[in-house]
Amino acid sequence: MMRSSAWCARCGTATGNDQPGMEDGDAMITLENNRLAIRYPDVHPDARCTIDFQRTLRIPDDGTDYPLPPGLGRFPLRHLDDYAARLPQAWHRRGGVITPMHQAEAMWISFGGSDYPFAVKIATGKICAVTGDDWVNHLNGDPQDYLVLPEQPWLDGYCVEKGFIRQFVAMPLGEGYTAEEQLTGEAEHGGLQVVAYPMKRKRYERLMSPRFAMDFEAGPDVCSSPAPDMGLAPGGRMRQEIYDDPYGLDAWDQRHASRCFVSIANSTQWMAVTGERPPTLPPSAKEYSEAGLPWFEWYGGDAKAVAGAKKLASLASVAELGKAKGQDPLPENESTRVTGVRTIRRSGDTRVREFEP
């Protein structure tokens, strides 16, 4: 089991300003081995990256700051178009892919595939996971609303303050827990939205020249909700930095953009749509720690972290909102003592968080 990065996957064919999917001529998104693979052969032969969605432990939502949990394997991804006759019309219209999550299950997003730089925006329910702002179809630099690859190997949740995130936790739309509902008052979109922009070819070739490289381095359970969709809500606090863009906003080729909508189905919906059983629930954080298995921390070297978003910091976590509602939405939320934290760092193309069972 590992924390890993990789790029692959065909994510749907819907186009247009509000529709995710494959777009912009020779840009290609494919679905490969449960990964989204994005390629821009018209920009540069090396312009490719992958995104996958990792199953993981849900850390306790208890106010404690936890290290990085492990990856427990990829969530399965399927083309929505393959199941058009069984889908709600809204899902079919937006295209993309579908993945299953149990209610209150956690995920993290892994990036990889190559060393070609990309700017990647991640939103949940069309709320930016870095700034808390509404979705827009371009990059913003102030505040930075995107991640820079390969500097950013993964994203585990909402950037609530410098060096800390709140974990992505699946909750049904319509009950008020998701970031989308807390910030907009609506339960409209759900799921995840992804868009990737490659670095401009000339900027990349300059970056790869020996002279520039020298100058650059010298510088600084089943969901029973009747809601037709699932969204992501802020869970427990985790130590994770979202890195500042070292290249600048002008480095990104915003003429080329590939977008994908990732719909999240609860267990019952997944079986009804695909005929497949969803993955089993992962162990609790307490069970994992009591087994003596490792947690992780990432060493980012001299990379600078962005400040957290006040909008996201103001969100109530699932446990906090559940308490206010008189509900208990998180099973097995006991605090756990973490030991054996392993430090990992980027080395070549390999970024892993793994353990031997």
pLDDT at 6 over 80: no
Q: Going by C-beta distance under 8 Å and a sequence separation of 6 or more, which residues neighbour residue 118? A: 38, 47, 49, 148, 149, 196, 197, 198, 199
pLDDT: is 226 or 352 the higher one? 352
pLDDT for the residue 216: 37
**Range 250-256 average pLDDT:** 95
pTM score, two decimals? 0.85
Q: What per-residue confidence (pLDDT) applies to 14?
A: 30
pLDDT, tens digit, 9 for 90 and up, residues 33-68 = 999 999 999 999 999 999 999 999 999 999 999 999
Q: pLDDT tens digit string along 293-332?
A: 888 888 777 788 889 899 999 999 999 999 999 999 998 8
Does 152 or 18 have the greater pLDDT score?
152
d(CA 103, CA 310): 27
71: nearest Cα among 286, 352, 279, 344: 352
For the stretch 16-50, what's the b/e string if a residue is b when 16 or more beta carbons lie within 10 angstroms of its beta carbon? eeebbbbbeeebbbbbeebbbbbbbeebbebbbbb
CA 202 and chain centroid, separation: 29
Instruction: Specify the pLDDT at position 347.
Output: 59
Q: What is the pLDDT of residues 77-104, one digit of tens each?
A: 999 989 888 887 777 788 899 999 999 9
* pLDDT at residue 73 is higher than 50: yes
Length of the chain: 357
User: Please, which pLDDT band fits residue 222 given cuts at 50, 70 and 90?
Assistant: very low
Please identify which residue in the block is written with the tokens 């089991």: 1
DSSP letter for 310, please: H
Mean pLDDT of 4-25: 32
End-to-end CA distance of the chain: 8
Per-residue pLDDT tens over the stretch 98-131: 999 999 999 999 999 989 999 999 999 999 999 9
Work out the average pLDDT over 189-213: 86
Residue 324 host element (H or E): helix 318-325
Mean pLDDT of 159-173: 96
Section 336-353 average pLDDT: 70
pLDDT over 90 at 17, yes or no: no
